[in-house]
Amino acid sequence: MTNTWILTTDESIGALVETAASIGGTSTVVAVAPSAPSVTGVDRIIHVPVAENTPAEAYAGVVAGLLADAGSDVVLTANRPAERAFAGAVAAALALPIIVGATSVGADTAEVARYGGLTNETVEFNGAVLVLDGGAATQAGGPAPETHEAAPMGATVVSAQPASSGPANLAAARRIVSCGRGFKSEEDLAIARSLADALGAETACSRPLAEGTAWMTKDRYIGVSGMRVSPDLYIALGISGQVQHTSGMAGSKIVVAVNTDANAPIFRIADYGIVGDIYEVVPALAAALA
Ligand SMILES: Cc1cc2nc3c(=O)[nH]c(=O)nc-3n(C[C@H](O)[C@H](O)[C@H](O)COP(=O)(O)OP(=O)(O)OC[C@H]3O[C@@H](n4cnc5c(N)ncnc54)[C@H](O)[C@@H]3O)c2cc1C
Tell me, yes or no, whether 134 and 235 share the same domain.
no
Distance 224 CA to ligand 1 centre (A): 13
Which of 114, 205, 239, 281 gets mutated to test ligand 1 (max ligand atoms within 8 A of its CB)?
A: 239
Q: For residues 15 and 134, give the distance between their C-alpha atoms in angstroms, rounded to a whole number.
A: 5
Instruction: Determine the 3-state secondary structure of 18 from DSSP.
Output: helix
Range in 6-10, 28-32, 46-50, 98-102 the model is least confident about: 98-102
Q: For residues 285 and 282, give the distance between their C-alpha atoms in angstroms, rounded to a whole number.
A: 5
**Half-sphere exposure at residue 195, Cβ-oriented, CA atoms within 13 angstroms:** 26
CATH number for the domain spanning 279: value is: 3.40.50.1220
Q: What is the pLDDT of residue 207?
A: 96
Is the predicted pLDDT of residue 23 greater than 80, yes or no? Answer: yes
Instruction: Specify if 176 maps to a domain.
Output: yes
Beta carbons of 258 and 236 less than 8 angstroms apart: yes
CATH number for the domain spanning 32: value is: 3.40.50.620
Cα-based torsion angle of the residue sequence 118, 119, 125, 130 in order, rounded to the nearest 10 degrees: 0
Tell me, yes or no, whether 142 and 214 share the same domain.
no
Q: For residues 39 and 30, give the distance between their C-alpha atoms in angstroms, rounded to a whole number.
A: 11
Tell me, yes or no, whether 143 and 179 share the same domain.
no
Nearest to 13 by CA among 143, 175, 139, 149: 139
Q: What is the pLDDT of residue 231?
A: 94
pLDDT band at residue 275, thresholds of 50, 70 and 90? very high
Which of 114, 170, 259, 274 gets mutated to test ligand 1 (max ligand atoms within 8 A of its CB)?
A: 259
Nearest CA, atom 27, ligand 1: 181
Is the predicted pLDDT of residue 3 greater than 90, yes or no? Answer: no
Distance 266 CA to ligand 1 centre (A): 10
Beta carbons of 113 and 103 less than 8 angstroms apart: yes
Tell me, yes or no, whether 75 and 186 share the same domain.
no
Q: Above pLDDT 70, what percent of the chain? A: 97
Residue 250 has φ and ψ, to the nearest 5°, of: -65, -20
Beta carbons of 18 and 87 less than 8 angstroms apart: no
Residues 6+ apart with CB under 8 A from 192: 177, 179, 183, 203, 237, 278, 282
Q: How many domains is the chain partitioned into structurally?
A: 2
Task: Compute the average pLDDT of residues 166-180.
Answer: 86
pLDDT tens track for 118-172: 788 999 999 999 999 888 888 888 999 999 999 999 999 999 876 655 567 788 8
Tell me, yes or no, whether 140 and 197 share the same domain.
no
Listing DSSP states for 111-158 in one string gives EEEEGGGTEEEEEE-SSEEEEE---S---S--SPPEE---PPPS----
Q: What is the pLDDT of residue 273?
A: 97
Is the predicted pLDDT of residue 224 greater than 80, yes or no? Answer: yes
pLDDT band at residue 228, thresholds of 50, 70 and 90? confident
Distance 2 CA to ligand 1 centre (A): 43
Q: What is the pLDDT of residue 44?
A: 96
pLDDT band at residue 103, thresholds of 50, 70 and 90? confident
Is the predicted pLDDT of residue 221 greater than 70, yes or no? Answer: yes
Residues 6+ apart with CB under 8 A from 122: 109, 110, 111, 112
Polymer length of the chain? 290
Beta carbons of 92 and 101 less than 8 angstroms apart: no
Tell me, yes or no, whether 140 and 179 share the same domain.
no
Which of 114, 203, 245, 263 gets mutated to test ligand 1 (max ligand atoms within 8 A of its CB)?
A: 245
> 112, 147, 182: which is the final residue of a domain?
147
Angle value at C-alpha 98, between 61 and 47, nearest 5 degrees: 40
Is the predicted pLDDT of residue 116 greater than 70, yes or no? Answer: no
Nearest CA, atom 53, ligand 1: 244
Which residue intervals of the chain are DSSP H helices?
Answer: 14-23, 60-66, 81-94, 189-199, 207, 243-246, 266-269, 278-289
Residues 6+ apart with CB under 8 A from 69: none
Q: What is the pLDDT of residue 117?
A: 66
Tell me, yes or no, whether 93 and 21 share the same domain.
yes
Task: Give the mean pLDDT of the chain.
Answer: 92
Strand partners for 152: none
Q: What is the pLDDT of residue 290?
A: 78
Ligand 1, CB within 6 Å, residue ranges: 180-182, 206-208, 221-226, 238-240, 242, 244-245, 248, 258-261, 264, 277-279
Tell me, yes or no, whether 116 and 184 share the same domain.
no
Q: For residues 165 and 173, give the distance between their C-alpha atoms in angstroms, rounded to a whole number.
A: 16
Instruction: Specify if 162 maps to a domain.
Output: no
Nearest CA, atom 43, ligand 1: 259
Instruction: Specify if 32 maps to a domain.
Output: yes
60 against 116, higher pLDDT? 60
Q: Which amino acid is at 56?
A: A
Instruction: Specify if 143 maps to a domain.
Output: yes
Distance 160 CA to ligand 1 centre (A): 33
Q: What is the pLDDT of residue 72?
A: 81
Distance 32 CA to ligand 1 centre (A): 37
Nearest CA, atom 11, ligand 1: 206
Domain coverage including residue 229 = 170-289
Tell me, yes or no, whether 51 and 124 share the same domain.
yes
